[in-house]
Copies of this chain bind each other. A is one copy, B any other.
Amino acid sequence: MVTPLLTTTLDATRSAVAAARARGQRVGFVPTMGALHAGHLSLIRRARAECGFVVVSIFVNPTQFGPHEDLARYPRPFEKDLAACTAEAVDLIFNPTAEVVYPPFFKTFVEVTGLQNVLCGATRPGHFRGVATVVLKLFNIVQPDVAYFGQKDAQQARILIQMVRDLHLSVEMVLCPIVREADGLALSSRNVYLSTEQRQQAPVLFQCLRMIQERIAAGDRLTEPLVQLARARIWETPGARLDYAAIVDFERLEPIDVLSGKVLIALAVFFGATRLIDNILVDVSPA
């Protein structure tokens, strides 16, 4: 196995990508904050299968964390991440410092208005502004042909797809399915924060989503009773505190009364200070 090329500067990253492109290789990009798990690896494998040159960025982006969030303690197991990228035959890891991505007197932010302040954005003000800004910066540095994102962060994916469309970027956006533990818990770098008891209760998010999905399959079309099902189920779960349960149109991220079209069913639940999210996307044909 060959260790990936490791870059920390814009110039070295651009040179390596330009060389790959000069060889006629398609450039695939998986932006991450490190602490890679099987969800990230599924994105990397998809990129590996589709692209001649695979770039993974590992950067814990400060602008997407709120002042009371977990920026300082966010896991940074770099050696383990490097081994995982090596095993997946990644070509290039871009691992910049915050000063490279955000030079002094940094002033510029991207806002995806309308989509950024609902759902997770309501609980995490400024979060998606930080996400959109860093991804645009990373796209401009790496200049990939195609970028891979997990459906786990469905709102993030929706916002970034909108950004790419609105700013006329030439990046193809690929959304990959959520990877789960055997008991249904969606993989997340934050699952390591959970206590043994919290970990046992955490699959309740997916159980709620499955419950709703079954009701939709059985013919339910009104959203309010379905949302109430999830609320009640989280309410009765020890240690769980609901942040939001929502059923929204996936295009506009606005609540809908009656299911129709491409619909996002999304949950955010606190276990102590740890906030878990999960979702399913369903295509509901008109009844």
Chain B residue numbers with a CB within 8 Å of A109 are 110-111, 113
Q: Please, how many angstroms separate the alpha-carbon atoms of A252 and B109 in the complex?
A: 17
Q: Give residues of chain A (159-185) contacting chain B, Cβ–Cβ below 8 Å.
A: 162-163, 165-170
Judged by a CB distance under 8 angstroms, whether A108 is at the interface is yes
Chain B residue numbers with a CB within 8 Å of A110 are 108-111
State the oligomeric state as a number of copies.
2
Q: Please, how many angstroms separate the alpha-carbon atoms of A165 and B109 in the complex?
A: 12
Judged by a CB distance under 8 angstroms, whether A123 is at the interface is no
Interface residues of A (CB under 8 A from B): 10, 14, 103, 105-115, 132, 136-137, 140-141, 162-163, 165-170, 251-252
> A165 touches which one: B103, B170, B252 (CB < 8 A)?
B103
Q: Please, how many angstroms separate the alpha-carbon atoms of A107 and B132 in the complex?
A: 12
A107 close to B114 (CB less than 8 A): yes
A162 close to B108 (CB less than 8 A): yes
A107 close to B115 (CB less than 8 A): yes
- A108/B103 contact (C-beta < 8 A), A140-B168, A168-B137 known: no
B107 close to A166 (CB less than 8 A): yes
